Amino acid sequence: MKKLFFVGAVALFASVNAQEVKFGAKAGYAMSTISMSIDGLGLTINTNSKSTFYAGALVEYQLNDKFALQGEVLYSPLGGEYTVEESFMGDSFKATSKVDLGTLLIPIGAKYYVSEQFALGAGLNFGIIMSAKNNYTETTTVGGVTETVSTSEDMKDEINSLNLAPYLGAEYNLSNGLFFDARYNLGVSNLAKDSGEGKWKNSFFQIGLGYKFGN
């Protein structure tokens, strides 16, 4: 019985030891959009994309040759912008609103290694919105006279703090620890606290590189 227990313990230790834990850092380019839909009107407004960045750290737990779990902590100033323009009889009005959402991203997911270098991944991104600002610019031309007014508004109290975004992605690893990855995150949470504002959803695409080290 003792021998059987010993053999089992050795086998368990060998199995755990074979599982790899890697740490790393990553950064890259992000393209973020905010879609706005107004209930009852059937109206959906897709904002222009915002070019931004992301950066942070990761940990990967290799279950076996094919499957791994991965968690990350990233920061990204997400958001989007939209423009409204009108003109009549030579007069014009243009308003541009740029929404900035300073977001702490915590994606947790699983990866399937198609080969030693190439992996596909899926999971859920928990976005914690730490700051929210609306930079608003209004330009009016009346009778040939143009006037521009710019304001910046803190929107933190108007925005829900949690943005859930399921994601799909792919990753290519080099033998020296460097890797390249791309990911699309589909925002499913309504960020607008006031129901009268309709629904605001933030989705974003990421592409970048990183470095992993460990067992």
CATH number of the domain that residue 203 is part of? 2.40.160.20
- pLDDT reported for residue 22: 96
Which positions ≥6 away from 177 have C-beta within 8 Å?
24, 211, 212, 213
| Any domain includes 11 | no
Say if residues 181 and 70 touch (Cβ distance below 8 Å): no
Task: Kindly tell me if the per-residue pLDDT of 180 is higher than 70.
Answer: yes
Say if residues 153 and 202 touch (Cβ distance below 8 Å): no
| Any domain includes 167 | yes
Say if residues 207 and 181 touch (Cβ distance below 8 Å): yes
Strands 162-173 and 178-185: antiparallel
Mean pLDDT for the chain overall: 86
| Any domain includes 13 | no
Type and span of the H or E element at 75:
strand 67-88
Got the DSSP string for 145-195?
Answer: EEEEEEEEEE-GGGB-SEEEEEEEEEEEE-TTSEEEEEEEE---S--BSSG
| Any domain includes 42 | yes
pLDDT grade, residue 14 (50/70/90)?
very low
Which domain range does residue 200 map to?
20-214
Which positions ≥6 away from 117 have C-beta within 8 Å?
172, 173, 174
- pLDDT reported for residue 6: 46
- pLDDT reported for residue 90: 74
| Any domain includes 185 | yes
Which positions ≥6 away from 40 have C-beta within 8 Å?
none
| Any domain includes 179 | yes
Question: Which residue type does 101 have?
Answer: L
| Any domain includes 8 | no
pLDDT in tens, 20-37: 899 999 999 999 999 877
Report the domain count for the chain.
1
pTM metric for this prediction: 0.82
3-state helix/strand/coil string of 17-64: HHCCEEEEEEEEEEEEEEEEEECCCCEEEECECEEEEEEEEEEEEECC
| Any domain includes 192 | yes
pLDDT in tens, 59-107: 999 999 999 999 999 999 999 987 777 777 777 778 788 899 999 999 9
Give counts: helices (H), strands (E), the chain: 1, 10
- Token couple for 110: 């699983």
